[in-house]
Structure formats: structure tokens, C-alpha cells
Amino acid sequence: MVVVQASPEARLRQLTFELDRREVIPSIVGDHRDFLIVSGLAGSSKDVASLTDDGTNAFTMAGAMGAAVSMGLGLALAQPDRRILVVTGEGELLMNLGALATVAVMSPNNLAILCVDNGHYGETGYQRTPTSFCTDLEAVAAGSGIRRTVLVEDEDGVPLGASAIRGDDGPSFVLLRVKPTEPPAFSRNLHGHECRARFRNALLSS
């Protein structure tokens, strides 16, 4: 059997990036206090900091591109009674796709990954990422063996995405396609040692 695939240019025309991250991420996450949150770099950290008001239940990363999913996995395994949410961008995730395979193998049911895909590297100069051409990270997550994957690219998909990150049949992966617009303008704490200490204290005190 011969499988004919569309060219990257043709597949690009099939993609839709119409949602505003500043509106849709709060709708999908809901009450952030239900989660311990680990965020990736750049836009996703601003998303989380704005959503939580730089809250103690969120560890917003800086300078560790590719580490968000791995850190979230470790946290989920160490805290099986807590619901863990990783919020990261597609550029950050592309740096460490192998983490998705490890998530699938370890299979913690309390872990959800929300990948905010705007088709651009927000940390390094706004170059286009492979997802703006042809790479499908939901397919990568499903192919890695992650139990539940969801694509959200319009308003109709938001309830399904919200349900996926709160389900008890995880791990789950939600690919959220958003317009390449700016994340919330929020001045978050960039001192890693302070963020670590407050996050640890909040975790232990709970």
C-alpha cells in the first residue's frame, strides 16, 4: 500500500490558529488551585503566572528549555494524591520529545500536560516552529503511548480539553492551538531559588 502525504505547505493551510491564549487557557484550566502547576518558558510561564497571580502552587521555569514535562512527571510520581498540570509551549516541548514516551511508560494518572502551540519559538526570537508546517504534537503524544490525547483548535473543543486535564484516567495530553499573539503582560518572579522555595513550602504545608 502506498500512502501519499500532503506537502508541508498544503498541510500548513489545513491548520487553524484562531484562539486567543489569554482567553482560552483560563477556560481550560478553571480553578488553578486544584493543581500543582509546572510551566515551561516564555509565554507559558506568563500564562501561568497571570492565571495564578504568581501563586505558590505554580513553579514557573526559566532557563531550562525542555525540562517542564520531565519535572511534572517527577512531581506526579512523588505526589500521587495531588493533581499535577504541566503547561508548556510547543517549542519547549520539541526540545525533549522523549519525555512523552517516559510519561507513557510510567503512566501516572494524576498528570496532565497542556501544550500551548502558537507555531513560534517565543523564547528565541519568534522563529516558526515545525508545528506551523507539519509536525503534529498530539499525534506524537498518542504515538508515544499517552493514554488520552485531545486537540483543541476552536471553541467547540474547549470543554473536552478542560475535561481531559481533570480526568482520573491520565496521563492526558491536550494540544491547544492558539494565535501567535502576545501572552498576558505579567511581571513574574524570575528568581528560581525563590520560586523553588515558595513552591516547596506550599506543597509541604498542604
pTM above 0.75, yes or no: yes
Q: Of 97, 127, 133, whose CA–CA distance to 115 is shortest?
A: 97
In this prediction, residue 188 carries a pLDDT of 74
**Count of CB atoms within 10 A of residue 190's CB?**
11
The confidence score (pLDDT) of residue 3 equals 47
Q: Please check whether residue 38 lies inside any domain of the structure.
A: yes
Domain membership flag for residue 31: yes
Question: Does residue 166 sit within a domain?
Answer: yes
In a domain, 133, yes or no: yes
Position 3 in a domain: no
Give the Å distances, CA to CA, from 96 to 40, 138, 142, 200: 12, 15, 16, 25
Residues of the domain holding 193: 8-205
In the chain (206 residues long), the average pLDDT of successive 10-residue segments reads 53 70 96 94 89 92 86 96 95 94 97 95 81 93 96 96 92 96 78 83 80
CA distance 102 to 156: 31
Domains in the chain, number: 1
Asked if residue 127 is part of any domain, the answer here is yes
Q: How far apart are CA 16 and CA 12, in angstroms?
A: 9
Rounded Cα–Cα distance for residues 12 and 8 (Å): 6
**Residue 121 lies inside a defined structural domain of this protein:** yes
pLDDT of residue 120: 87
How large is the angle between the packed helices 68-78 and 98-106, nearest 10 degrees?
A: 10
Q: Is residue 1 part of a domain?
A: no
CATH number at residue 191: 3.40.50.970
